[in-house]
Amino acid sequence: MHDSISAMAAAQPFYLEGLNDPQREAVQTLDGPVLVLAGAGTGKTRVLTTRLAHLLHTSRAYPSQILAVTFTNKATQEMKERVSGLMGGQPVEGWWLGTFHSLAARMLRRHADLVGLSSNFTILDPDDQVRLLKQIMEVNGVDHKKWAPKAMISFIDRWKDRGLNPPQVSGDEAGDIAGGKLPLLYEVYQRRLREINACDFGDLLLHMITILKDPANKHVLDEYHNRFRYIMVDEYQDTNVAQYLWLRLLAQGHNNICCVGDDDQSIYGWRGAEVGNILKFEKDFPGATIIRLEQNYRSTNNILKAAHGVISRNDGRLGKELWSEAGEGDKIQVRGLWDGEAEARWVAEEIEQLQRKGQSLNGVAVLVRAGFQTREFEERFIKLGLPYKVIGGPRFYERMEIRDALAYLRVIVQPADDLALERILNKPKRGLGDTTVQTLYAYGRSHGINLYDSIMDLTQTDELRPKVKTTLMKLLDDFGRWRSLVETMDHAELAAQVLDESGYMQMWKEDKAPEAPGRLENLKELISGMQEYESLPEFLEHVALVLENQDQSGGEFATIMTLHGAKGLEFDCVFLPGWEEGLFPSQRSMDENGLKGLEEERRLAYVGITRAKRRAYISFAANRRMYGSWVNAIPSRFIDELPKEQTEVQSDLGLAGSGRSSHWDSSGFAPKAQKRQVASQTHDRKVMSESGTVFQRGDRVFHDKFGYGKIINIDGHKLDIAFEKSGQKRVMDSFVEKLD
């Protein structure tokens, strides 16, 4: 008996060694549809690559008979290298491995004629898309100043993500956008793309879906059914509708499709990902084998149990519970603090303590829900000389919108700052082209003066066109007026006024791009941060020193990044600040998507906690200065959902000495009845928006997305509005227009 077991073990391929039972099952279950629910840190990549190697090693398929789909080029390259390593270092040639877009493009090159293209079609980048649509808008009488082409492209991209061609888009889909002409613009846009033998990224999948669904092209679908004996898909929870439809069509042949993903980590709904794709896998593929990978190789059990306590509140999940052999580990540290500044100070002190205990900074991360949160942590780290890096985006003061705002302020303090003035001369757009700027600079060089003085001189002559002269004269008048207020007006209030009167804030409010709301939040955070300094010159000097002191060469760095950007990463110690209602979960996400939005926010909390290998710290503030004013905050509902057995709660709130601290019990949590009371106290009869508009109950308003409605309640700057066509929604006052 012993000899037979030894013989069986010896007969097993070496690459199966070290796999746990569910992992081995996922590798060896080759026939029929398979869904591998791979929890965080459960060895998903190893299972994927080993499964690919197993298919090849057992001669179940040639490389060219396997379709393996990833989400990033990096994942594609990693999979190639790993499989090659498992196959003895031999390069694996001829297989169909790549991202959705690269594989769809490869197919479309072969069948382009079936959708009116030639095989050498061009793939437009986002800038080309915007320029093309802008031309189409002009021809069709749509004002591109009122309806930003970039925003219109975003709507069209979303339709393509849902697999919708122009005939499938109804007027209801677009509402009043572009005066109801957006479906027409989409139709003309697609026709124009064919005329110039081009497509955008969304077309790569959309055209292939069109080809594969058409009965007249049955031979094409049959060809791929015969070709692909096995289909494998990574990160299935992040697929959008178009990707799902493409996969479904291709899988109808042999039905040997293996999808790997985690419904608890679907956090990209804002860019089209549809968690329902993974939730309905068994319905789409009857008789599917479901394999759960639940042994976690990253975190301790206290971290995993805490994360499970939160995610288990979601209804939209298939269910699994992670466990680890790494022991129970430290409990989650939950800390209540008085305000955002105290929170940043506490995080920095904890990191320094970890350093003293031998923890490398490279294993420490601060994961925030919103980009604007990074400022206070960056400021604190810089003061302490704590090296850090921002991943997934520039540091706070290096962000484009912050540099623009700073440029306005620099010109107010120092008119001779040519670089700052040139940066914002045409931001927002004022009709000043490169020719105007060149004329101004040429004049300045010939007369030995700066750009500001050149403008002053040339607006008094006939060198410039009358319209350009009028625009520049108004800009000079604005800067003169703002400069006269420096000595008498609070500098933070002045900055808010400058950004408002210049039209810069309005530019971002009208921008429908996904990143625009974040840019607005960053600008408001900039204004909040200015209040910590005595004057505008002192603040600008501080920023200059901060930007100068950012050498990132060599050494160790703590990481600051958003929760979205942290997916797939891991750190020894993770700090999760700002767990307050409205901030996390995001009020905007809940307002726009209801329960679906809340569940995605909860998945984001799960992702954040499970990034930690050894220690996780969660913090919240009783008060937070947001957008220039203090907000009375309450802890996130996600904190209530953390199991008490896995958490240790500490709070500074009882020591604050303010009447506001009476809302909190000794643990730092507000009892639920008191939480409701705190919230209700903020409901006002009136509110003044940043632009000076006073809103009150009963006012009729207009919202770009939801249309006409009436205010029924006011909660700070949040308005509860009964919209005529969209029902009741909660929106920020800055997103609505009051009607007379």
Please state, in angstroms and rounded to a whole number, the distance separating the CA atoms of residues 270 and 266: 11
Residue 289's nearest CA partner among 16, 46, 24, 31 is: 31
In the set 28, 29, 45, 506, the catalytic residue is: 45
In the set 80, 320, 588, 611, the catalytic residue is: 611
Residue located via tokens 């921002």 = 390
Q: 3-class DSSP state for residue 729?
A: strand
Give the residues across from 630 on adjacent strands: 625
For the question of residue 644 being annotated catalytic, the response is no
For the question of residue 252 being annotated catalytic, the response is no
| E-strand stretches of 90-220 | 96-99, 122-123, 198-199
For the question of residue 611 being annotated catalytic, the response is yes
Please state, in angstroms and rounded to a whole number, the distance separating the CA atoms of residues 712 and 718: 11
In the set 161, 200, 234, 580, the catalytic residue is: 234
For the question of residue 45 being annotated catalytic, the response is yes
Contact yes or no for 325/71 (Cβ under 8 A): no
Residue 542 dihedral angles phi and psi, to the nearest 5° = -60, -45
| 464 burial via Cβ count (<10 Å: 0-12, 13-18, 19+) | buried
User: DSSP letters along 342-372, please?
Assistant: HHHHHHHHHHHHHHHTT--GGGEEEEESSGG
Contacts of 35 (CB under 8 A, 6+ apart): 236, 258, 259, 261, 278, 281, 282, 285, 288, 289, 290, 291
Pairing outcome for strands 686-688 and 364-368: unpaired
User: DSSP letters along 653-691, please?
Assistant: GGGS-SGGGGGS-TTSPPPHHHHHHHHHHTB-SEEE-TT
Residue located via tokens 């009150």 = 696
Half-sphere exposure of 562 (CA within 13 A, CB side): 17
In the set 200, 203, 235, 521, the catalytic residue is: 235
In the set 70, 265, 359, 646, the catalytic residue is: 265
194-228 per-residue burial string, b: 16 or more CB within 10 A, e: under 16: eeeebbbbbbbbbbbbebbeeeebeebbeebbeeb
In the set 23, 24, 42, 44, the catalytic residue is: 44
Contacts of 197 (CB under 8 A, 6+ apart): 117, 118, 120, 121, 122
Give the residues across from 17 on adjacent strands: none
For the question of residue 355 being annotated catalytic, the response is no
Which H/E stretch holds residue 336? strand 332-337
* C-beta neighbour count of 81 within 10 angstroms: 12
Pairing outcome for strands 558-562 and 364-368: parallel
For the question of residue 265 being annotated catalytic, the response is yes
Residue located via tokens 């969304």 = 202
* Catalytic positions: 44-45, 234-235, 265, 611
